[in-house]
A = this chain, B = another copy of it.
Amino acid sequence: MELTVYLAGQIHDDWRDEVKNKAKDRELTIQFVGPQENHDRSDSVGEDILGEQPNKVLRDDAASSINNLRTQIWLGKSDIVIGLFGENYKQWNTAMDLSTAMAAGKPTILIRPVSLHHPLKELSNKATVTVETIDQALDILSYMYE
């Protein structure tokens, strides 16, 4: 059976491509879904579609409503949610996506450098599995099919 995996986390680099390529190398029958990965488009989509907004907060709010709609659909269709945390960015939406998945009864894999464990300890304790690297997350996905 094909599994659908939502990749939650920052969109400032191409870590999702790494996940997808490594899954392809392992010949896993997995479909990956996730947020808009073009950062500029993600920030401007509210004004792109709804027109200029009165100020920055409202520009952000317009964008986030459309991004939230996207997340609601694809995260809702996923079987597993992987959330990646790194040293940079606030990443509160990553915490939100993982918590939403947990509340919906979906299994979660939390990827984070061990240096971030302390502030992530409550989220990590609620995640199904916590790992340090993308390769470990892929090991777990592979294990689903063993």
A residues adjacent to B (C-beta < 8 A):
1, 3, 31, 33, 36, 38, 41, 45, 48-50, 54-58, 60-61, 63-74, 76-77, 79-80, 85, 89-93, 95-96, 98-100, 102-105, 107, 109, 114, 116-126, 128-129, 131, 136, 139-140, 143-144, 146
A146 CA to B98 CA, complexed, in Å: 22
Chief secondary structure at chain A's binding surface: helix
Q: A48 CB to closest chain B CB, in angstroms? A: 8
- Please name all residues of chain B whose beta carbon is closer than 8 Å to the beta carbon of A58 when the two chains form the complex: 54, 58
Which B residues are CB-close (under 8 A) to A117?
56-57, 60
Contact assessment for A36 and B143 in the assembled complex, using a CB-CB cutoff below 8 Å: yes
